[in-house]
């Protein structure tokens, strides 16, 4: 109800600022269940004790995908406000006109529904909303992970890159995949560490932290690769995307998002002692999620309108409001999932407790 009230207030005050804020907030929270799908497929593919202990958390995160679908669909009704390529063809640059075979409203809507149906189907097959035992075939997991990469890459082109249709990047989809999985791991670590009644096993916790560190390094490699490729090419349609995000307030947002999303967690995860400590991991995960929110804001907001106080306040309020809905729904699903094996059977001598 709070979210609905904020949406109505935003429509009354400044509808363009509202939808600019709403798409940012939807992506902030929507990346978490999408990233959880990758974590589940990875565990099904590789196995391991870490996934057995934490599986209910990833299933609960993936199970929040219906919230993402519901919050995304209204944006299809206001596409004309968000996407510049929906302007009259004669007013579009030649670069954009050459993309209209792909960037057209009916095809865009069909693709969006296909993404959502596929992702919801993946969540159902993984058992996100049931107690039934699901198949953990490595072959199916590999196919699911490949399909996840492909669909999220195209989703990134549609909902992120096409906000500035002159821009193009081959690396952006992979960068978004790494970002979503990293944010999902941070959310899972934070949820599990903050709500468990007893300390988790040292081994699984360290394995999850190592997986998180690997994904963060993958993200920074993709982000750096995209920057170097575009910088060396120095093409106006591509370099302008970075120039816009390196001016004014966006420069500060980029620095803070990088520091919070990568640098702080990276520094924590370099320490074996910190990886074994529940409080350190939970704190690093919280910092990473705040950086994730800033990163989504930095990727989306500059494409839509000049930064205003109204947009900033709306984005913050909607992030908190929609986030409360997500957290409540995820915790409800987590309680419904089968509990992990008894912690006493997983305890490791010499574990540090907080």
User: If you write DSSP's letter for every residue of 128-192 in order, what string do you get?
Assistant: TT--S-----HHHHHHHHHHHHHHHHHHHHHHTGGGSTT---SSHHHHHHHHHHHHHHHHHHHHH
Q: What is the mean pLDDT of residues 56-67?
A: 93
Q: Tell me which residue of 322, 326, 303 sits closest to 314, measured CA to CA.
A: 322
- pLDDT, mean over the chain: 85
Q: Lowest mean pLDDT of 92-101, 188-197, 225-234, name the range.
A: 188-197
On the question of pLDDT at 127 being above 60, the answer is yes
Residue 247: alpha-carbon gap to chain centroid = 25
Gyration radius of the chain over CA positions: 20
Predicted confidence band at 216 (pLDDT cuts at 50, 70, 90)? very high
Q: Lowest mean pLDDT of 7-11, 137-141, 214-218, name the range.
A: 7-11
What's phi and psi for 339, nearest 5 deg?
-70, 150
Helix residue ranges per DSSP H, the chain: 2-13, 15-46, 49-62, 65-72, 79-82, 94-97, 105-126, 138-159, 172-195, 202-233, 236-244, 249-258, 264-269, 272-275, 278-300, 309-336, 343-346
On the question of pLDDT at 289 being above 70, the answer is yes
Query: What would the pLDDT profile of 226-239 be if each residue is shown by its tens digit?
Result: 999 998 888 887 88
On the question of pLDDT at 200 being above 90, the answer is no
Quote the CA–CA distance of 214 and 229 in Å, as a whole number: 22
Task: Match 């919801």 to its residue by tokens.
Answer: 120
């Amino acid at each position: 109800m709070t979210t609905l009230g904020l949406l109505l207030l935003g429509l009354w005050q400044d509808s363009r600022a509202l939808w600019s804020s709403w798409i940012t907030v939807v992506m902030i929270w929507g990346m978490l269940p999408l990233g959880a799908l990758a974590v589940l497929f990875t565990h099904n593919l590789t196995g391991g004790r870490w996934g057995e202990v934490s599986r209910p958390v990833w299933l609960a995160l993936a199970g929040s995908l219906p919230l993402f679908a519901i919050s995304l669909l209204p944006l299809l009704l206001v596409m004309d406000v968000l996407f510049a390529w929906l302007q009259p063809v004669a007013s579009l640059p030649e670069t954009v006109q050459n993309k209209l075979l792909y960037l057209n409203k009916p095809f865009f809507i069909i693709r969006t529904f296909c993404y959502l149906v596929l992702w919801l189907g993946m969540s159902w097959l993984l058992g996100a909303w049931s107690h039934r035992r699901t198949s953990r075939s490595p072959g199916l997991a590999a196919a699911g992970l490949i399909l996840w990469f492909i669909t999220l890459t195209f989703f990134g082109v549609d909902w992120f890159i096409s906000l500035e249709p002159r821009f193009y990047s081959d690396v952006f989809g992979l960068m978004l995949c790494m970002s979503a999985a990293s944010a999902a791991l941070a959310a899972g670590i934070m949820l599990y560490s903050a709500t468990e009644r007893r300390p988790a096993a040292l081994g699984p916790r360290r394995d999850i932290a190592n997986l998180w560190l690997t994904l963060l390094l993958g993200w920074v490699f993709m982000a750096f690769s995209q920057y170097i490729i575009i910088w060396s090419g120095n093409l106006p349609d591509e370099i302008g995307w970075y120039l816009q995000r390196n001016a004014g307030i966006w420069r500060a947002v980029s620095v803070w998002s990088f520091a919070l999303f990568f640098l702080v967690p990276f520094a924590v995860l370099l320490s074996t002692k910190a990886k074994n400590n529940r409080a350190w991991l939970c704190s690093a995960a919280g910092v990473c999620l705040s950086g994730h929110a800033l990163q989504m804001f930095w990727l989306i907001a500059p494409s839509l309108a000049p930064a205003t106080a109204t947009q900033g306040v709306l984005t913050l309020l909607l992030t908190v409001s929609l986030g409360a809905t997500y957290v409540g729904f995820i915790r409800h699903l987590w309680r419904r999932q089968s509990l992990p094996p008894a912690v006493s059977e997983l305890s490791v001598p010499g574990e540090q407790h907080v």
